[in-house]
Amino acid sequence: MARPATVLIYLILAVLLLLLLRSHHSPEHRNHLHHRRLKLRPNFSFTSPPSAGDRYIPFDPLISDIEHRREDREWERSHFNIPSAPGEEAQPEWEDFIDAEDYLNDENRFNVTNRIVLLFPLIDVDPADQFVSLEELTEWNLKQAAKEVMHRTGREMEMHDKNRDGFVSFAEYEPPSWSRNDNISFGYDMGWWKEDHFNASDMDGDSLLNKIEFNDFLHPADSVNPKLIKWLCKEEIRERDKDRDGKLSFQEYFNGLFDSLRNIEEVYNHSDTSDGAQSNKLFKELDKDNDGFLTEDELIPVIGNLHPSERYYAKQQADYVLTQADADKDGRLSLNEMIEHPYVFYSSIFDDDDDDDGLDFHDEFR
Ligand SMILES: *[C@@H]1O[C@H](CO)[C@@H](O)[C@H](O)[C@H]1NC(C)=O
Ligand SMILES: *[C@@H]1O[C@H](CO)[C@@H](O)[C@H](O)[C@H]1NC(C)=O
Ligand SMILES: *[C@@H]1O[C@H](CO)[C@@H](O)[C@H](O)[C@H]1NC(C)=O
Ligand SMILES: *[C@@H]1O[C@H](CO)[C@@H](O)[C@H](O)[C@H]1NC(C)=O
Ligand SMILES: *[C@@H]1O[C@H](CO)[C@@H](O)[C@H](O)[C@H]1NC(C)=O
Ligand SMILES: [Ca+2]
Ligand SMILES: [Ca+2]
Ligand SMILES: [Ca+2]
C-alpha cells in the first residue's frame, strides 16, 4: 500500500509551504509597518570598549542628544556619586528613560516624517541636488560618529583629569581597567597606554593632552596627527618585527601584515593575480626606496586598512541604508525614498523584540 507514503509526502509538502510563507515575512514588508516602537539604545557600557554591537551611528542628532543626556546622568552617578542638588527633583533614571521613549513614540511630538524633511537638506550638501548620495550619507554618519566619540572622550577626560584643569597629564593618566584585564587584545603588547603613545598624541608638545589630543590618544586611527599615525605604524612594525631590526623584511610582512591587508582592493586592485604575485606586488608598491624592507613611513599609506577608522563604519552604515531605502535603485536617495523608509534610518533604536534584523546589521557586513 502506497497510502502512508503519500500522506507523508503531502505532510512534508505542507511543512515546506509553511516554511516558505514564513520566509516571505521579510524586512522589506516590515518597513511599512509604521507602528513600531522606537527605543533608545540600551545602556552604553562604561567599563568595556565599544563592541561591534555598539558600532551603530545615530542618524538623528536629536536622538543622540537625548541619549547623551541620559548617559551623562548615569555617568555622573556612577563615577562621582553626586547627590542631587537641593531643590532639584531626584528622579530615578528609569523614569527619564521611559519619558524620553514616550516622547519619541508620541507621533504628535516626534514625527519621523518631519524629522527627515528637516534633516534632508543638512545631508544633501555636496552638491545640494535633491538627492542624498552614498558620499553625502557617509559624511553625515561620520559627523554624527565624531560627535559621539567626542562626547565619550569628554566623559573619559573628566575621569582622568584629576586636578580639573582641562588637561590630562601622563601622571594623571591611568589605563582603564579593561585594558589591564584584557591583556592580549587591548594589551600592553600593542604598546597602548604607554608614554610614547601619550607623547605622540601631544600635538602641541606641552606635555599635556587637551580634549582633542586626548580624543586622538583614545582613537589614534581617526587622528590626523602625523606623529600619532607614525606611532601606529611603529607599533605595527614592532608587533611583527621578529629580528628586531626596526623594519619589516618580506618574510615578516608576508607572515602577518599581508593577511590584514588582503582586503584593500579599493586601493590596490590585484584581484586578477595569485596570492604570491599579489603579496609581491603590494610589497614592491609599499617599499618606496626599494631596499627590501618596509619602514614606518612606508606603512603610512595602508595604516587605515590595518585599523578600521570611523570612516569605515560610517561608509558601512551608509551602504546598508542605501541598499534598504533606495527603492528605484539609482544609487542615491530622494527625499521621498527616505520618507517611505523612515525606520531604516531609525533602525538603531528599533524595538528588536521579534528578532534582530534591525540592530545587528553590522555583523553581516564584516
Ligand atoms: C541602565 O543602567 C542602570 C544602572 O547602570 C540600570 O539601573 C538600568 O536598569 C539600565 N537600563 C536599561 C534599559 O538597561
Ligand atoms: C507627520 O507629519 C506629516 C507631514 O507634516 C503629516 O502628514 C502627518 O500626518 C504627521 N503625522 C502625525 C501622526 O502627526
Ligand atoms: C600582561 O602581559 C604581560 C606580558 O606580556 C605580563 O607581564 C603582565 O603580568 C600581564 N598583565 C596582566 C594583568 O595579566
Ligand atoms: C615623553 O615626553 C616627555 C617630555 O616631553 C619626556 O620626558 C619623555 O621621556 C618622553 N617619553 C617617551 C617614551 O618618549
Ligand atoms: C586598477 O584597475 C583599473 C582598471 O581596472 C586600472 O586602470 C588601474 O590602473 C588599476 N590600478 C592599479 C593600482 O593597479
Ligand atoms: Ca546631493
Ligand atoms: Ca598638548
Ligand atoms: Ca534612489
Higher pLDDT, 343 or 176: 343
| Residue 80: predicted pLDDT | 64
Write the pLDDT tens digit of every residue in 294-321. 999 999 998 888 887 888 889 999 999 9
Compute, in angstroms, the gap from residue 123 CA to the centroid of ligand 7.
Answer: 33
Compute, in angstroms, the gap from residue 135 CA to the centroid of ligand 6.
Answer: 9
Q: Does 37 have pLDDT greater than 80?
A: no
Q: Are 152 and 68 in contact (CB under 8 A)?
A: no
Q: Are 41 and 65 in contact (CB under 8 A)?
A: no
Q: Does 336 have pLDDT greater than 50?
A: yes
| Residue 274: predicted pLDDT | 67
Higher pLDDT, 59 or 181: 59
Q: Does 340 have pLDDT greater than 60?
A: yes
Q: Does 362 have pLDDT greater than 60?
A: no
Closest C-alpha to 322, from 59, 8, 39: 59
> Confidence class of residue 262 from pLDDT cuts 50, 70 and 90?
low
| Residue 171: predicted pLDDT | 86
What is d(CA 63, CA 69) in angstroms, rounded to the nearest whole number? 10
Write the pLDDT tens digit of every residue in 151-163. 989 988 988 899 9
Q: Does 184 have pLDDT greater than 90?
A: no
Q: Measured from the CB, is residue 292 less than 6 Å from ligand 1?
A: no
| Residue 32: predicted pLDDT | 44
| Residue 308: predicted pLDDT | 79
Ligand nearest to the CA of 137: 6
Q: Measured from the CB, is residue 48 less than 6 Å from ligand 1?
A: no
| Residue 323: predicted pLDDT | 93
Q: Which atom of ligand 5 is nearest to the CA of 285?
A: 13
Q: Does 365 have pLDDT greater than 50?
A: no
Higher pLDDT, 85 or 364: 85
Q: What residue's CA is closest to ligand 5, atom 3?
A: 269
pLDDT mean over 230-243? 91
Q: Are 174 and 186 in contact (CB under 8 A)?
A: no
Compute, in angstroms, the gap from residue 129 CA to the centroid of ligand 6.
Answer: 5
| Residue 42: predicted pLDDT | 65
Q: Are 300 and 286 in contact (CB under 8 A)?
A: no
Q: Measured from the CB, is residue 225 less than 6 Å from ligand 4?
A: no
Higher pLDDT, 111 or 266: 111
What is d(CA 290, CA 271) in angstroms, rounded to the nearest whole number? 24
Q: Which residues surround ligand 7, an ion (CB under 5 A)?
A: 202, 204, 206, 208, 213
| Residue 143: predicted pLDDT | 96
Higher pLDDT, 211 or 270: 211
CA 247, 248, 254 angle in degrees (round to 5)? 170
What is 69-120 written as a DSSP string? HHHHHHHHHHHH-PPPPTTS----HHHHHHHHHHHHT-TTTS-HHHHHHHHH
Closest C-alpha to 41, from 72, 22, 66: 66
pLDDT mean over 264-281? 65
Query: Which position has the grid cell 590585484?
Result: 270
Q: Which atom of ligand 4 is nearest to the CA of 198?
A: 1
Q: Measured from the CB, is residue 226 less than 6 Å from ligand 1?
A: no
Compute, in angstroms, the gap from residue 78 CA to the centroid of ligand 1.
Answer: 11
| Residue 94: predicted pLDDT | 52
Backbone angles phi, psi at 4, to 5 degrees: -60, -35
What is d(CA 138, CA 336) in angstroms, rounded to the nearest whole number? 19
| HSE value, Cβ hemisphere, 13 Å, CA-based, for 219 | 21
> Confidence class of residue 118 from pLDDT cuts 50, 70 and 90?
very high
What is 195-238 written as a DSSP string? HHHHHHH-TT-SSEE-HHHHHHHH-GGG---HHHHHHHHHHHHH
Q: What residue's CA is closest to ligand 5, atom 5?
A: 269
Compute, in angstroms, the gap from residue 141 CA to the centroid of ligand 6.
Answer: 15
Compute, in angstroms, the gap from residue 285 CA to the centroid of ligand 5.
Answer: 13
User: Using omega within 30 degrees of 0 as the cis cutoff, is the peptide bond preceding 127 cis?
Assistant: yes
Q: Are 345 and 60 in contact (CB under 8 A)?
A: yes
Write the pLDDT tens digit of every residue in 73-86. 877 777 666 555 55
Q: What residue's CA is closest to ligand 5, atom 6?
A: 269
Closest C-alpha to 349, from 162, 105, 180: 105
Average of per-residue pLDDT values in the chain? 78
Compute, in angstroms, the gap from residue 189 CA to the centroid of ligand 1.
Answer: 34
Least confident of 34-43, 254-263, 298-307: 34-43
| Residue 175: predicted pLDDT | 63
> Confidence class of residue 125 from pLDDT cuts 50, 70 and 90?
very high
| Residue 75: predicted pLDDT | 75
> Confidence class of residue 144 from pLDDT cuts 50, 70 and 90?
very high
Q: Does 341 have pLDDT greater than 80?
A: yes
Q: Measured from the CB, is residue 183 less than 6 Å from ligand 3?
A: yes
